[in-house]
Structure 1
Amino acid sequence: MGEIPQALPSPWPDLDALLTPSLFTLITSSRFPYSKKVPINFSHFGRDIFLADPFSPLVRDAVWPALLALSKYTLDQLPDLHDRYLPHPTDHSYPEQCLGLLLLLDNLPRLLFKGIDARWTFDFFDRLAQRVVHSWIGLPKQLRPDSRERWGDTVRAGMDFWVAVRFWFGVVLAHSERQRDQQLGLGYTEETRLVVEEASGLLDPWRGKRGVVLGDDTMFPREYKLGPPQGEGVTMEQWVFWAGMLMDCHKPIVDRFGRYPWLNAITGRISTEEEEEYVKRIGSFAEVEEAVKRRVRRDVDAGRWTPLGTDSL
């Protein structure tokens, strides 16, 4: 009898041990401490995203080892995270698992990384998150992890919970500097808007201002600084319409510059004169300390990365 072939060792044993269903479940449940069927207080929901951070302390100790392990590889060395670490899209746990992976890659670096570590957010983890989005966005509608059908039929979630999770699936497209992703993002927010308009009988008030939303490249930093709707009377519809506007008004910036000029400093890119004037015009939005800017520039010139965790741990 011939010998039984032995399975080849994994090229990513550290990732296999860390990028687990239990990690993704912890992340999703901590980001969404809400009943799936009871209406959400969207004033608190917006506050906990834009004005406070009750989330990252709950998962910090669990996610740092995974983030550090990912940073030991180059983008070209990493496997397809969607296919390797998520269940098959037909699995009932797929939507929540996929959301957990996206939050790990897109949201948590923005909350946890300080100083020079922030370069990893925009030049590394954002790219991984965008890869994951492109792995699921082309799936049939009934399998997509963001679809109303999936969360309603499989997860048994109400409308409030669905629009809340859908925000986090879509924000990855808004963070992308690719024009293709920005165009996909417009379609994404329109899908959400139409569902909510039909269900509520209300028309998004920003529809009458589409020329401004898609034409004013200073609108996003201005609206971001103003923050989400607040007050105990904030409705689900108000939140959806505001969040859709905020994501859509990323597009005119990428249309004009092909990138977000405020990220040039933290990614070590050289700004054009036009970009420098733009950054001055939007004030101190996403300002990077001069010392950090110099350190990033030295790393980029030398073709190296300061190890993740240097300024954050």
Structure 2
Amino acid sequence: MLAVMAEGSSLTARIPYPPAINRISGQAIVHTSPRPQSQVTMGGGPTSPFDLRSLLTPEFLASLVRARLPYDPRTPMDFSEFGRSIFLTDPISPSVKTTIWRVLKKLSTIGLEHMPDLTLYLPAPTDPAYPEQTLGLLLLLDHFPRLMFRGVDQRWTYGYFSHLSRRVARAWHALPPAQRPDSWARWQQMGAGLDYWIAVRFWMGTPFVHSERAEDQEVALLFTEETRAAVEMVSGMTDPYRAERGQILADLYGFPRVYKAGPPQGDGVTREGWTFWMGMLMDVHKPMIDRFGRYPYLNSMLAREGTPEEEVWVAKTEHFGEADEETKRRIQEDVKHGRWTPLGEGSHGQRIHVLS
């Protein structure tokens, strides 16, 4: 079985890389923070056999941000199109997916207990390239498996890559506020406008929303409130969902209902309206964790036995997000025998959903 590495484990050396390119200015970014060019070691132990420098390059991570946020960071965004690209269409080109698949496949062969600290393949937190590079790594681990994996492969999304994305998210969130890669001030320094920053915040918050840990849900709640408050301050508007906040945070069936209804669409979608809707969507995940301590619809993906109350939830939501019967059977067999079907050998069935 693949065990989760202790959260305190880390590598001792940051990975040396050539300069990355600032996609906003188009200029090469000179890394100013010292990064020792020593070998990657785990907790002072022997050299790790899993050197990922040729895969997790600055160019690759930046390309993931461009693929998921193909907008001019300095100009207003079409939030109707942004929502459509997340929930209703698949805008990622086959060539980009091929490269992503190669990297995810390699990561899947390492095992959680042997995985190097992936944050050390990023620039130092004080480096100007750190925000975009961190976003690229989060997209790789948290978003693209949800977008690309099908069938038995979906176990890798929720039972493996979600653990990795959580480690990265917890690491950057623990930084001093001025160094955090979600900082509005840092993205302003890079030349990004408020619209682009809102999109960045959406993707950087999803690992906390996706987590089944209560402490991460509290982080998600505060994170979403920070985004909401910033937009309220700039626009002078008040999020209309504030009046329903008590109901939202108690609505056990809210997420499936909101997800099925889809994002705001049409010419009338504004930056503020989309942000307030997004905040509500993020918040409405929490009641499930508060009640069940986990997402009931992931039980089938992880071969977990549902409780009677969870089974009622699944039935009332018309089996929202559940795996098909063949996928459930194969995952149960794998778990029973202490094995994982190799990534890529279990892709069948239909897309479940993207967000969680």
Give TM-score, length-normalised by structure 1: 0.95
Paired residues, number = 306
The offset of 1:215, in angstroms, is 0.2
The offset of 1:56, in angstroms, is 5.4
Q: What residue in structure 1 maps to residue 55 of structure 2? A: 18
Map of 1:101-120 to 2, 5 A cutoff?
101-120=137-156
Map of 1:186-225 to 2, 5 A cutoff?
186-225=221-260
The one of 172, 182, 196 aligned to 1:136: 172
Quick check: 1:120–1:308 contact (8 Å CA) kept in 2?
A: yes
Q: How far, CA to CA, are the matches of 2:310 and 2:207 in structure 1? A: 23
Map of 1:42-81 to 2, 5 A cutoff?
42-55=79-92, 57=94, 59-81=96-118
Q: What residue in structure 1 maps to residue 217 of structure 2? A: 182
Structure whose residues are more often helix by fraction: 1
Cα shift readout 1:229-287 (whole Å, capped 9, x = no counterpart) = 00012111011100000001111100000000100001111111111111011113112
The offset of 1:14, in angstroms, is 4.9
Quick check: 1:89–1:144 contact (8 Å CA) kept in 2?
A: yes
Q: What residue in structure 2 maps to residue 303 of structure 1? A: 338
Quick check: 1:112–1:312 contact (8 Å CA) kept in 2?
A: no
Quick check: 2:155–2:302 contact (8 Å CA) kept in 1?
A: yes
Q: How far, CA to CA, are the matches of 1:88 and 1:42 in structure 2? A: 32
Identity %: 53
Q: What residue in structure 1 maps to residue 35 of structure 2? A: none
Q: How far, CA to CA, are the matches of 1:57 and 1:229 in structure 2? A: 27
Give TM-score, length-normalised by structure 2: 0.83
Cα-Cα RMSD: 1.5
Q: Which amino acid aligns with 1:100?
A: G
Q: How far, CA to CA, are the matches of 1:173 and 1:57 in structure 2? A: 28
The offset of 1:15, in angstroms, is 2.1
SS in 2 for 1:198: helix
Is 1:100 the counterpart of 2:136? The answer is yes
Cα shift readout 1:19-78 (whole Å, capped 9, x = no counterpart) = 111110110111111111110000000000000010253521111111011111221111
Distance 1:87 1:12, change over 3 A: farther
Q: What residue in structure 1 maps to residue 289 of structure 2? A: 254
SS in 2 for 1:267: coil
Q: What residue in structure 2 maps to residue 3 of structure 1? A: none
- In structure 2, the gaps of 5 or more residues are 1-37, 41-45, 349-356
- In structure 1, the gaps of 5 or more residues are 1-5
Quick check: 1:214–1:249 contact (8 Å CA) kept in 2?
A: yes
The one of 207, 218, 226 aligned to 1:172: 207
